[in-house]
Amino acid sequence: MTEQTRPQPNQPSTHTVLLIELALAMGGFGIGTGEFATMGLMPNMAQNLAISEPQVGHVISSYALGVVIGAPLLAILGARLPRRLLLMLLMLFFAIGNFASAMAPGYESLMLFRFIAGLPHGAYFGVASLVAASMVPPHKRAKAVSRVLAGLTLAMLIGNPIATWLGQLLSWRYAFGMVGAIALVTTVLVFIFLPRNAEATHSNPKSEIQSFNRSQVWLALGISSIGFAGMFCVFGYLAPTLLEVTGVSEGWIPFALAAFGLGGISGNLVGGWLFDKLQFKSISLILVWSIIVLLLFPLAAQSIWSMLPAIFAVGTMVSLSPALQTHLMDVAVGAQNLAAASNHAAFNVANALGPWLGGLAISAGLGWTSTGYVGAITAAGGLAIFWWAWKDQARYSETAQREEGLAENA
């Protein structure tokens, strides 16, 4: 065994790491299935609750708002807890929110319960990513984070199509009940596989808040909030676009969701690999790719055979997630819990912003495929913020080098 492959004194064995990543990824699978199930079941929920499809979009936005509020709040409140215990509590909270959603008597109560279900989302992914990154060498962190986030992308490939099929066959309520059950299974897996002393270090909430206030942290969150909105803009209205524009039956929706999931898995793996190779620069390449994909989406919507590859390509935009998550770990020294959780809050600002902007365009009579053009504009906005962050990072590096040189001369 070489020096590079030999486990470090405080580093778990490869077998243990894989089991822990499996447990953490299961939570991501449940969260991803719950988050995206509403999008696949939009027509069914609209009919069952006697509301419009844009109103179902508000249900999606309610969940996203829960993530935005809950991610930093629960990260701060749970900062003093051992990460193992915090992960289990967050999953139990998520289970309760989804079981309540499954039993919601009407539209207003469903909005409330989806908001509650969204509260633990960001904090869970943030803490899970930190645990995954802590178990591997520094040059493999992004890949470790991408493996944990693979649960989220597998939800797009497997969980969401199953939830959609189950909702079409029985009721959309069964989809949320299934998600609650997955959350309970995750709690058990974390209890079994994550050692009691693994990353039990407590952080100081006050110090995290102080360290969080850095330009690079806020700019990274800005890229997440704006640059990622395009994917949700298209995906949020994918089901009605398939029915109204492509002209296919409901039976095609699970296949379209599976195509999106395959794209998500591919993008997640590529995003982690690309960041390990190119670091922050990789984010600009992902955003340029996103603009191209979103501009081509409306042109592909007329036929299912061009639509499926286009949906796959939109799914690859997920590559932004592991890249930004790892970048935040680099720039948020002293505030990693809060920053890691806030990244998922930012992604869900995008989740709320995308369907909202798409709904405005559709309501204005621009058509279902206008979501592609609206999404391309938001991706371009993310690219502009990246350019700002790149310049800011360069100025910071020059200042640090100048100060270091003055210190050496003194």
Choose among 115, 101, 97: nearest CA to 58.
115
| Bigger pLDDT: 329 vs 165 | 165
Per-state percent for the chain, helix, strand, coil, to nearest 5: 85, 0, 15
Q: Are 152 and 29 in contact (CB under 8 A)?
A: yes
Q: What is the pLDDT of residues 213-226, one digit of tens each?
A: 677 888 888 898 89
Question: How large a percentage of the chain has pLDDT more than 90?
Answer: 16
Q: What is the pLDDT of residues 273-297, one digit of tens each?
A: 888 788 888 888 999 999 999 999 9
Q: What is the pLDDT of residues 153-182, one digit of tens each?
A: 788 778 877 888 887 888 888 888 999 999
Determine whether 16 is exposed, middle or buried from the number of CB atoms within 10 Å of its CB (0-12, 13-18, 19+): middle
pLDDT band (50, 70, 90) for residue 212? low
Q: Are 142 and 161 in contact (CB under 8 A)?
A: no
Residues 6 or more apart in contact with residue 162 via CB below 8 angstroms? 33, 178, 254
Cα dist. 83→78, 121, 196 in Å?
8, 15, 9
Please give the pLDDT value at position 312.
93
Query: Which domains, from first to last, does the chain contain?
Result: 14-409 (1.20.1250.20)
